[in-house]
Structure 1
Amino acid sequence: MNRVPFSSPKGTVARLIGAARLDDKGFAVHFGRMTTANDEQTRHKAKMANRKAIQDAEVAAKTVEKGLLIVHTGKGKGKSTAAFGLMLRALGRGFRCGVVQFGKGAWQSGERTAIERFGDQVEWHTLGEGFTWETQDRQRDVEAARRAWAATRKLMADPTIRLIVLDELNITLRYDHLDVTEVVSALQARRNDLHIVVTGRNAKPEMIDAADLVTEMTPVKHHFAAGVKAQEGIEF
């Protein structure tokens, strides 16, 4: 199908749509109907109206409202970043939120500095003692995990908290610092208006099965492999 500009006798720009051949003088001769820009706009509008009707019907069919268990996992960068972005949205809607960091050390990250500006709208607990390869002490890691889980249960029992980020909980469960059955059962028994976001690679199958939403971050390219170090404002 060929589309070429065509000037009608009245000067309107149109298009000829159809087959074409060359006449004996080398000029293109087109066979087909002529459509105007107005025709194309009419078709586009009808197509979008049909699409909107389908979308509206699909949205209207969704009637359930509930607290979600959301899991961010995978080997790619951005799991915690996405969780804190979601928290920012919730804070913007006036929610009280909580954070429990399981595996990361007690350094002051950029997101913590920013979110703490919301004052008592956020309750933040950093109870990990660093990555497992830094502590090199399994019993210390288990004890830190238990303290973090106790803080989690306290936040879950607070009726004013509407969203909780459990940062690196998946790593804690991967190394069996907590019992996965106990943790997942408690998360499933959350209040109906409480959203919980769990981050960390290697999410356990039990966590994935229990979740309402699971996103896997897939690495495609990372600057660290090219020798670029972790940078303020990007990694922390």
Structure 2
Amino acid sequence: MILVNTGNGKGKTTASVGQAIRALGQEHTVAFGQFMKRDSQAGEQYMLHKLLGNLFFAPGDGFLTKPEQFAKHRATSEKLIWWAKERILDVDMLILDEVLYALSAKLITREELEEIIALARNNDTHLVLSGRNAPKWLIDEADLVTEMTEIKHHYKAGIPAQKGIEF
């Protein structure tokens, strides 16, 4: 199955981590890759390292904020694409967190993501994709799409990001 967690609200990564935990609880093998995110910054990364070992990979440089950063971010995205292709044949579930951000920022191409989707379908590997702005073609292709909608966020009231909540 192809599962997509998208929308402008909080919870996409959290839902993806929860899906990993559920699959692990059923003795499935899970690989979890994070686009954009630097390793060892968020609480889930610490736990995913403990649970998954080398089946967790977060080679990112943070979010793309300046055009001059594009080449560096593209290079780390390519590393994660190759890592995902190598793992997809050996796991029951592959999770690609923030892949939709990478797609909308053109750090990966539609063709690269479609190739991963085809590999997942051909190998009966569940594929979980997260990030904002899921394109229509992906929504049409997916088996399950969940949209997180922000109703209220403490950041807008001046409360900074909180450990264990945002990271």
What TM-score do you get using the length of structure 1 for normalisation?
0.66
1:209, distance to aligned residue in structure 2 (A): 1.7
1:127, distance to aligned residue in structure 2 (A): 1.5
1:47-87 CA-partner distances (Å, limit 9, x unpaired):
xxxxxxxxxxxxxxxxxxxxx11011110000010010111
Moved over 3 A (4+): none
Mapped to 2, the partners of 1:114 and 1:106 lie a distance apart of: 12
What is the root-mean-square deviation in Å for CA atoms of aligned residues? 1.8
Aligned residue for 1:127? 59
Corresponding pairs, count: 166
SS at match of 1:198: strand
SS at match of 2:62: coil
Q: What is the identity, as a one-letter code, of the residue corresponding to 1:193?
A: D
1:139, distance to aligned residue in structure 2 (A): 0.8
1:144 to 65, 76, 79: 76
Question: Do structure 1's residue 200 and structure 2's residue 140 form an aligned pair?
Answer: no
Question: Do structure 1's residue 83 and structure 2's residue 16 form an aligned pair?
Answer: yes
Mapped to 2, the partners of 1:103 and 1:204 lie a distance apart of: 19
Aligned residue for 1:186? 116
SS at match of 1:218: coil
For the pair shown, the structure with the greater C-alpha radius of gyration is: 1
The 1:80/1:116 distance shift into structure 2, 3 A limit, reads: same
Task: Verify the 8 A CA contact 1:184 1:206 in the aligned structure 2.
Answer: no
The 1:134/1:125 distance shift into structure 2, 3 A limit, reads: farther
1:118, distance to aligned residue in structure 2 (A): 2.7
Q: Which has the higher strand share?
A: 1
What TM-score do you get using the length of structure 2 for normalisation?
0.91
The 1:225/1:140 distance shift into structure 2, 3 A limit, reads: same
Aligned residue for 1:211? 142
1:192, distance to aligned residue in structure 2 (A): 4.5
1:134, distance to aligned residue in structure 2 (A): 6.6
Q: What is the identity, as a one-letter code, of the residue corresponding to 1:133?
A: T
Task: Verify the 8 A CA contact 1:135 1:141 in the aligned structure 2.
Answer: no
Q: What is the identity, as a one-letter code, of the residue corresponding to 1:181?
A: E
Aligned residue for 2:25? 92
Identity %: 35
Q: Greater relative contact order (Cα 8 A, min sep 6): structure 1 or 2?
A: 2
Q: How does 1:103-114 map to 2 (within 5 A)?
A: 103-114=36-47
Question: Do structure 1's residue 167 and structure 2's residue 97 form an aligned pair?
Answer: yes
Aligned residue for 1:4? none
1:151-182 CA-partner distances (Å, limit 9, x unpaired):
11011122xx1111101000111011222023
The 1:136/1:231 distance shift into structure 2, 3 A limit, reads: farther
Mapped to 1, the partners of 2:83 and 2:117 lie a distance apart of: 13
**Structure 1: stretches of 5+ with no match in the other structure:** 1-67
